[in-house]
Amino acid sequence: MTSDAQIFDLRLARGHEDLFGQLEKLYGRRKDYGQFTKALLDVLRRSWAERPDDLKLLDLRRDLEPDWFQRPDRAGYVFYVDRFAGDLKGVLDKLDYLSDLGITYVHFMPCLKPRKGDSDGGYSVQDYRAIDPRLGTMPEFEEVAAALRARGISLCVDMVLNHTAKEHEWARKAAKGVAKYQDYYLMFDDDTLPRQYEKTLVEVFPDNAPGNFTYQAAIGKWVWTTFNTHQWDLNWANPWVFLEMAEIMLFLANKGVDVLRFDAVAFMWKRMGTRCQSEPEVHMLLHALRAASRIAAPAAIHLEEAIVGPQEMIPYLGSGEHSGAEGNLAYHNSLMVQYWSALASRETRLMTHVLRTHFPTVLPNATYATYIRCHDDIGWAVTDEDAAALGISGPAHRSFLSNFYEGGFPGSFARGELFQINEETGDKRISGTFASLAGLEKALEAGDETGIDRAIDRILLGHALIASYGGIPLIYMGDEIGLLNDYGYRDNPDHAHDSRWVHRPHMDWDAARAAQAGHDSPAARIYAGTQHILARRAAMRAFHAGYPTVIVDTWQNGLFAFQRQSPAQPALCLFNFTESWRSIGVDWAHVNGVQLLYDGLSDAPVSDGSDRIALPPYARLWLL
């Protein structure tokens, strides 16, 4: 009979080169490298020994079914626990709601213990091994994780890699002068080096947290603080930081976390004369962390939060020597940006160009997390080069998008709020819920029934897009019932400076129950449409993320299309990004692989016998 120790040794042998090959390049010249690797092996063995039996069984199942997260029955839902259910115990009462909607993956927004007061929405973590006491306890977390697992729902939790709160135990010891822990962070005796670094660094929060360094008078040192003054950047050039974070990663996996969402990964490695983003060592670190997971907790996968330009994003899913061995999931930020861009401009040429030019048709052992809205602001990641390829100005287009979605552009249907303005570039980021940005708020206020219809269509267009493009579609809490902007954040001192709270409303359970009951309301229509989209997605083999997504030309501005090239059941997905009726030739559909003029989304024929396929405003078709 095979023992646990033998299974561990087999997995260690499988992952040895992926783990220690990367660590050797990062830390091999250090005198303490041997001591570090011995300590890391001890952590891996101990974590495996402590792993619960039911999770070890899940490890085996996912070793045998490594594509589990790529399958079309995966559909995600993202929420703040307190705003969705009050606390962890409350989540147990909402499991039927999640299952009825078709959800098989949930992301608890930051739920580890944050610092008190402003915590950057929970991303300023004080203790990675404890749950936010406002939400519950670690045993309660394990109970909820087990209940989700019993329903086939995977659990995603945030783990911030770039920084800790200044109140973290390591930071407190560093502040007391303990040299070991001062080396866990990036500290400087004077501002000479910080000033040199600043020459090429970008300010993330220029309005409320300018600069990248903070002087700590109590210890007489400058501390690297990329995001906020209370978030101290970790020194990943120190292998003992890697060891600590790997142990935390495996601790969380042993508590039932299926997907570790690594936050702010692009910033982990610092190099003078660069932006200190997406440096090669970042990918070595993430490759090594993935290998450590595959050895001691192989059921867990990694989602890497890197909101960067298209050319920078793909390496986080593994390319070159890291192909198939880095992140399993990464946010398709460009798909989200291009959706909003095409809606505002009624023009899909840029969308077609960007998604065809910068993204491979398929990824080895990885896929995208696709989304239309999330907890964060929208930064208009349209490069000047991509804009110029279409004969437009990058700065002008980004400015247009900000003005349109703030609601100030003539004829805009949207209502949003500015988040930050970069005075050097003029770029402005935008906050707002999906429904408010898509026009529902403005239409409801005006009593405009046609406007309400069009807003609902835009929302369902977005959900159909992310459900079919490839990867795991993520629905942000409330988007399935059209929750509007919550302007009450302005009255909360901890939130008033951060307009992102406008799109983090509390769940409206009265509206949700009415929507489930089928009441005639916008919420009910959006809910029914979203539920239907996820059910149809789960039934279509073409939407397995292992099959290629190939962008095709429609030769019409305002229409966007791609093939899902499944050998057994291919599909051609077609979207109308305008409020006008359009049509496209039957011959075009046949040339692009359509044999039956049948829509897998509506589950109905699309041809009236003519040589054209009629497309209503904001049409979404999955042609078989």
> Which H, E and C letters describe 184-205, residue by residue?
CECEECCCHHHHHHHCCCCCCE
What was the pLDDT predicted at 205? Answer: 77
Classify residue 82: in a domain, yes or no.
Answer: no
Cβ atoms within 10 Å, residue 347: 18
- Over range 128-150, report the average pLDDT: 98
**Confidence (pTM):** 0.94
Classify residue 443: in a domain, yes or no.
Answer: yes
Question: What's the token pair of residue 210?
Answer: 């300018």
| pLDDT greater than 70 at residue 207 | no
Q: How far is CA 375 from the centre of its chain?
A: 9
Note whether 468 and 573 are within 8 A (CB).
yes
pLDDT tens digits, 85-137: 999 999 999 999 999 999 999 999 999 999 998 898 899 999 999 999 999 99
CATH of the domain at 589: 2.60.40.1180
Question: What's the token pair of residue 328?
Answer: 């399993």
For residue 72, CA distances in Å to 58, 366, 534, 584 come to 20, 14, 9, 28
| pLDDT greater than 80 at residue 209 | no
Q: Is 555 in the same domain as 513?
A: no
Classify residue 496: in a domain, yes or no.
Answer: yes
Classify residue 397: in a domain, yes or no.
Answer: yes
Classify residue 18: in a domain, yes or no.
Answer: no
Q: Which band of pLDDT confidence, cut at 50, 70 and 90, is reported for residue 1?
A: low
| pLDDT greater than 90 at residue 461 | yes
Classify residue 491: in a domain, yes or no.
Answer: yes
Classify residue 449: in a domain, yes or no.
Answer: yes
- Over range 78-91, report the average pLDDT: 97
Q: Is 437 in the same domain as 584?
A: no
| DSSP β-bridge partners for residue 78 | 107, 476
For the annotated catalytic residues, the residue numbers are 263, 305
Q: Is 382 in the same domain as 503?
A: yes
Note whether 221 and 213 are within 8 A (CB).
no
Q: Is 561 in the same domain as 480?
A: no
| pLDDT greater than 80 at residue 307 | no
Note whether 280 and 324 are within 8 A (CB).
no
Q: Count of domains in the chain?
A: 2
Work out the mean pLDDT of the chain and round it to a whole number.
94
Classify residue 501: in a domain, yes or no.
Answer: yes
Strand ranges for 318-477 from DSSP E: 329-331, 367-371, 417-421, 428-431, 472-476
pLDDT tens digits, 533-560: 999 999 999 999 999 999 999 999 999 9
What's the chain's Rg over C-alpha atoms?
24
Q: DSSP 3-state assignment of 65?
A: coil
Q: Is 340 in the same domain as 485?
A: yes
Residue identified by tokens 């303005």 is: 421
Q: Is 491 in the same domain as 588?
A: no
Question: What's the token pair of residue 9?
Answer: 């040794």
Compute the distance between CA of residue 341 and CA of residue 52 in angstroms, rounded to an integer: 47
CATH of the domain at 463: 3.20.20.80
Q: Is 504 in the same domain as 573?
A: no
pLDDT tens digits, 481-513: 999 999 999 999 888 888 999 999 999 999 999
CA nearest to 170, candidates 228, 110, 131, 126 = 126
Q: Is 431 in the same domain as 578?
A: no
Q: Which residues contact 268 (CB under 8 A, 6 or more apart)?
A: 161, 162, 234, 236, 281, 282, 285
Q: Which residues contact 410 (CB under 8 A, 6 or more apart)?
A: none
Domain that holds residue 581: 549-623
For residue 54, CA distances in Å to 149, 310, 420 come to 10, 39, 46
Q: Is 363 in the same domain as 415?
A: yes
Q: 599: part of which helix (H) or strand (E)?
A: strand 598-599
Note whether 597 and 624 are within 8 A (CB).
no
pLDDT over 90 percentage in the chain: 86
Q: Is 421 in the same domain as 350?
A: yes
Q: DSSP 3-state assignment of 231?
A: strand
pLDDT over 70 percentage in the chain: 99
Compute the distance between CA of residue 311 and CA of residue 323 in angstroms, rounded to an integer: 15
Q: Is 573 in the same domain as 516?
A: no
Q: Is 373 in the same domain as 462?
A: yes
